[in-house]
């Protein structure tokens, strides 16, 4: 009955699905163990005070921030501005992908009706 949950990695963007931050994106800063990760977004959850989150309450997105990973490896820290930038970059990528799919489905609809 137990479902295998994908373990997020540091630098990965996640969607928060439970709690007061539900519906927001954040970045994984640290993996504590097989059940918990620490996340931050650079705004409400800053790097100095990340949120401990159960992995069942987040959904990993297929996007990693190279800048955040590099900063974590080099200094062990990430500036909040870099976290905000990485999330904005992901959102624009994510929305752009959705717009391309919508435009493609619209074109397909026009071709079949015409």
Q: Identify the pLDDT of residue 105.
A: 40
Among 4, 5, 49, 57, CA closest to 30: 49
- For the stretch 50-100, pLDDT in tens is 999 999 999 999 999 999 999 999 999 999 999 999 999 999 988 887 655
The pTM of the full predicted model, rounded to 2 decimals, is 0.79
> Domains plus CATH for the chain?
12-109 (2.30.30.30)
Question: Which residues contact residue 17 at a Cβ distance below 8 angstroms, ignoring those fewer than 6 apart?
Answer: 57, 58, 59
- For the stretch 43-52, pLDDT in tens is 999 999 999 9
Q: What's the alpha-carbon Rg for the chain, to the nearest Å?
A: 17
Residue 2 has φ and ψ, to the nearest 5°, of -75, 135
Q: Is the pLDDT of residue 6 over 90?
A: no
Band (107; pLDDT cuts 50, 70, 90) = very low
Cα angle 42-46-51, degrees, rounded to a multiple of 5: 115
């Amino acid at each position: 009955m137990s479902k295998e949950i994908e373990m997020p990695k540091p630098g990965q963007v996640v969607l928060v699905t439970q709690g007061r931050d539900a519906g927001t994106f954040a970045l994984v800063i640290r993996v504590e163990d097989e059940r918990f990760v620490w996340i931050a977004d650079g705004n409400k959850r800053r790097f100095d005070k990340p949120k401990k989150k159960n992995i069942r309450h987040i959904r990993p997105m297929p996007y990693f921030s190279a800048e955040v990973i590099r900063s974590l490896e080099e200094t062990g820290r990430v500036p909040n501005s870099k976290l905000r930038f990485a999330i904005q970059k992901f959102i624009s990528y994510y929305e752009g992908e959705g717009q391309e799919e919508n435009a493609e489905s619209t074109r397909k609809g026009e071709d079949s009706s015409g």
